[in-house]
Structure 1
């Protein structure tokens, strides 16, 4: 479901999110802002010279040839511009509305660049098994810093899949859902400046970037600080526990 942002739209955003498990907010950032973050993203990756490729082994069967992916954890620790974006009310107000809470806490961030022609796909999965929480008040926001049409391997989601709760993932540790057809996921093409919000129970993935341009996104995972982790995991991310909106009523902070 696509919504053009306005603060008066927050209840509608929350209703669509509750029904479908996701909502694509159009134009949350201006085109100029998105272009700035795209440039900074590529500069950071070049500056830090990260050559590790996070492509999932289970993604190999989704493409005819080898694919590749660039990424960076914790961009906000390398560039203050990303820190400012984390606490921008345009983002945090929507995050709070869709979670149905007042307080929003950071879990982690990842910067992704799908290179042209062979940018890696992600098999269908839930984020839940990576960092399960007790009440499932955990969400994600994907900031699009450039256009992401279907040929760039845009995000795909299975509407309403969050309503079935946690699912059994591949027991070999690949954390994907081999029994869910990739074709059942609906493509969510986006423009630079759009932000896709979804729950960590929503089944999602993405295709191969077969275009001649990179696809640049920033993933921000956030949560209700009052929702405790069911298992202590994924605690290596810098800044986990940072308050993006409101206060932490528990005093746990980075737990």
Structure 2
């Protein structure tokens, strides 16, 4: 369980890192499954319901930047999403109504070419009736300053919802020249493999390209309080309830006074965040061309 001090840190900064959540056996299993997924990308030539590919991907040299919804594509990741110690911490942070898994993904940054992610707030992608929502980053590799760790702007979850649009369309990225944050003061969430990070849904964050010789594999889960309902609607009510990892189904959402911008109209490059952000003109994180 989290200490009162850890909970207070999360409330104040919008993020928290906890070490030794995933044991060595689970880490090994997750890495092996991911390796099998990446090998399978040799048969894929374009983004699909499982793979988001690096621009330099080739069948003879598979390069994957994201594995989509892993909790639906392999039972191991649904199992990890429901680990009792993880769920217990989530209940402390998200409140008494229960906890629902909103979504999942695995962002992969292979040595020397792993793609960056521009500054953004997850809230811009999926606003809800309240903001008791967070992302959990399960660190499957050591997160180091040089391999593109998650970078966060402490306290930004208490501020506005920034504009993530370009030319009237949702782009999934914040223009760094148009916000009142000193991004040079961002903090890198570095920790050993097996650690997890928690970051609030409104926290401004991003990550640089991996320029090191070491991989960076991050399993990401998005969780919401059970009484937080997505403003874009619920298309499958049965599945909505099946994703509860604690608490009971309810049809009474909790409404909070939170700043919302809808992700509409959708991006001309609608897809993963990587595809949405291809429209961004003013990038903060540099992209080094790779062979």
User: Same fold by TM-score, threshold 0.5 exceeded?
Assistant: yes
Give a deviation string over 1:176-210, Cα, whole Å, max 9, x none. 22234542321111211010101110001111101
Does the alignment pair 1:11 with 2:1?
Answer: no
CA contact (8 A) 2:53 2:66 kept: no
Residue of structure 1 equivalent to 2:196: 195
Instruction: Name which of 23, 37, 46 aligns with 1:44.
Output: 37
Alpha-carbon distance between aligned partners in 2 of 1:92 and 1:137, rounded to the nearest angstrom = 15
The alignment's TM-score, normalised by the length of structure 1, stands at: 0.82
Alpha-carbon distance between aligned partners in 1 of 2:54 and 2:113, rounded to the nearest angstrom = 14
Flag the structure with larger Rg.
2
Residue of structure 1 equivalent to 2:173: 176
Alpha-carbon distance between aligned partners in 1 of 2:128 and 2:68, rounded to the nearest angstrom = 21
Residue of structure 1 equivalent to 2:99: 104
Residue of structure 1 equivalent to 2:213: 212
Q: Which runs of 5+ in 1 are unaligned?
A: 1-6, 58-67
Give a deviation string over 1:207-250, Cα, whole Å, max 9, x none. 110111221111100101211222338x69x9554111222222
Instruction: Name which of 122, 143, 152 aligns with 1:148.
Output: 143
The residue correspondences of 1:228-243 to structure 2 (distance < 5 A) are 228-232=229-233, 240-241=240-241, 242-243=243-244
* Corresponding residue pairs, total: 233
SS class of match (2:165): coil
Does the alignment pair 1:160 with 2:161?
Answer: no
Q: Which runs of 5+ in 2 are unaligned?
A: 56-62, 254-291
Q: Is the alpha carbon distance of 1:55 and 1:73 closer, same or farther for their aligned partners in structure 2, counting shifts above 3 Å?
A: closer
CA contact (8 A) 1:13 1:97 kept: no
SS class of match (2:114): coil
Alpha-carbon distance between aligned partners in 2 of 1:104 and 1:91, rounded to the nearest angstrom = 11
Residue of structure 2 equivalent to 1:32: 25
Residue of structure 1 equivalent to 2:277: none
SS class of match (1:123): strand
Give the C-alpha shift of residue 108 in structure 1: 0.5
CA contact (8 A) 1:107 1:223 kept: yes
Give a deviation string over 1:1-49, Cα, whole Å, max 9, x none. xxxxxx2x34333211111101011111123322321221221232355
Computed over aligned residues only, the root mean square deviation of the Cα atoms, in angstroms, reads: 2.6
Structure 1 ranges of 4+ moved more than 6 A: none
SS class of match (1:81): helix
Residue of structure 2 equivalent to 1:124: 119
Does the alignment pair 1:82 with 2:80?
Answer: no
Give a deviation string over 1:36-92, Cα, whole Å, max 9, x none. 2122122123235555375899xxxxxxxxxx7521112122321112111111111
Alpha-carbon distance between aligned partners in 2 of 1:182 and 1:38, rounded to the nearest angstrom = 32
CA contact (8 A) 1:10 1:94 kept: no
Residue of structure 1 equivalent to 2:257: none
The alignment's TM-score, normalised by the length of structure 2, stands at: 0.72
